[in-house]
């Protein structure tokens, strides 16, 4: 779920529950969540995923299309 | 403030009794508690009975160790059998603890005299001790200012001589913050070292129990008593010459009140002049600390409070209720991201300590904020009080490293501020040895802070 979609849903829920004062608090949380998702350690996960993709590409380009490669690619996609 | 060490010497020399010192603490509570609001419950009769027992026991040949006969206050979030654990909240009206928390049992075994329970930020979920069913705790140095939090009553009780030590809890800085703004020592041991059973949780994965005291030596004595270890003396200080200290300037010194910065730099200069080797280092991912902390503490707290937020929401103070409600909206995927960040940060602090005996940084970027302030001026910017008060302490709750706050002398307006030493995980005693060595240089005075409690 994107942070924008989450924030809209959360504010709507808070209003439905009679807690309009939660809106600024939720906006603060949204900023913190944006920062959390932008953290370097999350980017590292993206990097490692990219490197898997790179190594997969490399393996595909440099070798025959063996059934083993095919299975490995599928599982990389799955885990991604 | 009389230290526990000083009391111990005079007690064993027959110059003073536990009853006399306990009576003096109770007199100060009677004189100042209406002004400071430090206590939610004063246990005068039981304290005097215990003090007389301690005196009688000692004269008949039994010495329980360094806390024998020492008056201590307890944050009202820790169970003492037979009395309410209010957590300074109306939510817990009618509660009476059925048994002592293990830390209380250890203190009783060590001969401590429990003088009462101290006020706090409701459910320990705040840094100012303003949002409390009992009203705001006032700072003894300036009653218009916060005593810090969440263990604000504990800090005020020690600073005002109402107890020789207090037991607080620390989930994002709640021992070290009141220690810094009230001018006491505050120790957060390694995560998991001291039992948190019988303590109302804020975050089970980041809660710590720790002492607030007048000196590092006293903090060591109380820390060992909390572990159930009745050793008779503090550890020997590390030699200053060759001590390896690291200052993480980036992030941790970026946002400091000018007077706090001046006190910090003066303390660093004194440490260097005394023979310590000071390196400047960087803790990577420091800007991620607050989001990581927030997503963990909010989720943990929301889980604990989910039922009462539905059944008795109006019994919470509005700010604490809102903060708890915020936690109910954290997404699982972000909680998991925060847990991953926690591991990264722990490794970063481990790496920073690999070649050093301790990290050195301010405890708080500011002095005690005025009661009621939502924001505070720091250098050239205005910052939310809660964010700025947690900024330098919360990392070590996330990572579990032991940290101690030591007063680094008052600002020109006479307000206390603190310096923080951080040690390796599971090496709290080693940190205390470093802190004992550094304390005279940090405070700028070469003798233990003395006092007049007990005459």
ipTM for this prediction: 0.91
Structure tokens of B19? 């009853």
User: What is the structure's pLDDT at B380?
Assistant: 87
User: What is the structure's pLDDT at A46?
Assistant: 52
Supply the pTM of this predicted model: 0.91
Distance of CA B141 to the CA centre of its chain: 17
Identify whether the C-beta of residue B175 lies closer than 8 Å to the C-beta of residue B210: yes
Residue A51 has pLDDT above 70, yes or no: no
Q: In this structure, what DSSP letter does residue B218 have? A: H
Sign, CA torsion B326/B328/B334/B335? positive
Pairing of strands B244-248, B185-188: unpaired
Buried (b) or exposed (e) across B96-119, using 16+ Cβ within 10 A?
Answer: ebeebbbbbbbbbebbbbbbbbbb
The strand pairing partners of B277, in sequence order, are B244
Which residues on A lie below 8 Å from B330 (Cβ)?
29, 33
- What separation in angstroms does the CA of B73 have from each of A76, B43, B402? 58, 10, 22
Identify whether the C-beta of residue B196 lies closer than 8 Å to the C-beta of residue B188: no
Helical spans, DSSP H, in chain A: 3-16, 22-37, 40-62, 67-79
Q: Which amino acids of B are annotated catalytic?
A: 75, 150, 174
Radius of gyration for the alpha carbons in chain B, expressed in angstroms and rounded: 20
User: What is the structure's pLDDT at A50?
Assistant: 47
| Spatial separation of the C-alpha atoms in residues A9 and A15, rounded to whole Å | 10
Contact check, Cβ <8 Å, B334/A25: no
Residue in chain A nearest B289 by alpha carbon? A36
| B322: nearest Cα among A26, A33, A36 | A26
Q: State mean pLDDT over A28-52.
A: 77
Which residues on A lie below 8 Å from B338 (Cβ)?
36
Structure tokens of B231? 């050793």
Residue that the structure tokens 């590390």 belong to: B238
Q: Does A11 touch chain B (CB under 8 A)?
A: no
Structure tokens of B116? 């009462």
Which residues on B lie below 8 Å from A36 (Cβ)?
288, 291-292, 295, 334, 337-338, 341
Q: Give the A:B interface size as CB pairs under 8 Å.
A: 64
| Spatial separation of the C-alpha atoms in residues A12 and A22, rounded to whole Å | 10
Contact check, Cβ <8 Å, A41/B344: yes
Buried (b) or exposed (e) across B24-55, using 16+ Cβ within 10 A?
Answer: bbbebbeebbeebbbbbbbbbebbbebbbebb
User: What is the structure's pLDDT at B451?
Assistant: 37
Structure tokens of B299? 């989720």
Identify whether the C-beta of residue B176 lies closer than 8 Å to the C-beta of residue B365: no
Task: Work out the percent of chain A whose per-residue pLDDT is above 90.
Answer: 48
pLDDT means per 10 residues in chain B (455 residues)?
95 98 98 98 98 98 97 98 98 97 98 98 98 98 98 98 98 98 98 98 98 98 94 87 97 97 97 97 97 98 98 98 98 96 98 97 98 94 96 98 96 96 97 97 65 34
Distance of CA B295 to the CA centre of its chain: 23
User: What is the structure's pLDDT at A44?
Assistant: 53
The strand pairing partners of B179, in sequence order, are none
In sequence order, what E strands does B319-398 have?
Answer: 358-362, 375-378, 381-384
Backbone angles phi, psi at B303, to 5 degrees: -60, -45
Q: In this structure, what DSSP letter does residue B315 have? A: G
Which residues of B fall below an 8 Å CB-CB distance to A? 284-285, 287-288, 290-292, 294-295, 298, 318, 322-323, 325-326, 329-331, 334, 337-338, 340-341, 344
Contact check, Cβ <8 Å, A21/B322: yes
Q: Rounded to 10 degrees, what is the CA torsion of B370, B371, B377, B383?
A: 160
Pairing of strands B403-407, B185-188: antiparallel
Q: Which of A17-26, A38-47, A65-74, B371-380 has the lowest mean pLDDT?
A: A65-74
């Amino acid at each position: 779920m994107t942070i924008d979609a989450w924030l809209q849903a959360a504010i709507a829920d808070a209003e439905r529950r009679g807690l309009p004062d939660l809106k600024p608090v939720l906006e603060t949380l949204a900023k913190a969540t944006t920062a959390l998702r932008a953290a370097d350690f999350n980017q590292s996960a993206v990097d490692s995923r990219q490197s898997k993709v790179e190594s997969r590409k490399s393996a595909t380009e440099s070798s025959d299309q063996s059934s083993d490669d095919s299975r490995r690619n599928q599982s990389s996609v799955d885990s991604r | 403030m009389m230290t526990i060490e000083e009391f111990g010497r005079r007690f064993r020399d027959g110059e003073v009794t536990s009853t006399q010192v306990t009576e003096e603490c109770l007199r100060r509570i009677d004189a100042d508690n209406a002004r400071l609001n430090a206590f939610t419950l004063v246990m005068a009769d039981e304290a005097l009975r215990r003090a007389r027992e301690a005196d009688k026991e000692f004269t008949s040949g039994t010495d329980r160790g360094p806390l024998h006969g020492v008056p201590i206050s307890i944050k009202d979030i820790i169970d003492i059998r037979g009395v309410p654990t209010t957590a300074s909240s109306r939510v817990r009206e009618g509660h009476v603890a059925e048994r002592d928390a293990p830390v209380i049992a250890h203190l009783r075994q060590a001969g401590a005299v429990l003088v009462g329970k101290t006020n706090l930020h409701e459910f320990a979920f705040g840094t100012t001790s303003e949002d409390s069913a009992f009203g705001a705790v006032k700072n003894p140095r300036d009653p218009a200012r916060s005593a810090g939090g969440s263990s604000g009553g504990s800090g005020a009780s020690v600073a005002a001589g109402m107890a020789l030590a207090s037991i607080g809890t620390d989930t994002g800085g709640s021992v070290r913050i009141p220690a810094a703004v009230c001018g006491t020592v505050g120790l957060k041991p390694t995560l998991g070292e001291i039992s948190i059973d019988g303590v109302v949780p804020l975050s089970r994965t980041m809660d710590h129990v720790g002492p607030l005291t007048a000196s590092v030596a006293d903090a060591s004595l109380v820390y060992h008593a909390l572990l159930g270890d009745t050793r008779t003396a503090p550890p020997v200080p590390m030699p200053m010459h060759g001590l390896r200290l690291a200052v993480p300037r980036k992030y941790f010194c970026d946002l400091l009140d000018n007077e706090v910065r001046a006190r910090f730099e003066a303390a660093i200069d004194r440490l260097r002049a005394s023979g310590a080797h000071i390196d400047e280092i960087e803790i990577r991912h420091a800007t991620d600390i607050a989001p990581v902390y927030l997503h963990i503490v909010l989720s943990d707290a929301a889980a604990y409070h989910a039922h009462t937020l539905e059944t008795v929401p109006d019994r919470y103070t509005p700010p604490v209720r809102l903060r708890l409600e915020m936690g109910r909206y954290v997404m699982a995927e972000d909680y998991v991201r925060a847990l991953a960040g926690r591991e990264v940060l722990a490794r970063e602090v481990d790496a920073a300590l690999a070649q050093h005996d301790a990290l050195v940084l301010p405890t708080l970027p500011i002095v005690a904020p005025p009661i009621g302030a939502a924001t505070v001026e720091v250098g050239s910017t205005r910052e939310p009080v809660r964010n700025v008060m947690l900024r330098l302490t919360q990392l070590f709750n996330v990572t579990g490293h032991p940290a101690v706050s030591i007063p680094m002398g008052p600002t020109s307006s006479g307000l206390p501020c603190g310096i923080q030493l951080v040690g390796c995980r599971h090496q709290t005693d080693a940190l205390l040895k470093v802190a004992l060595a550094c304390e005279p240089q940090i405070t700028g005075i070469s003798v233990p802070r003395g006092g007049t409690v007990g005459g």
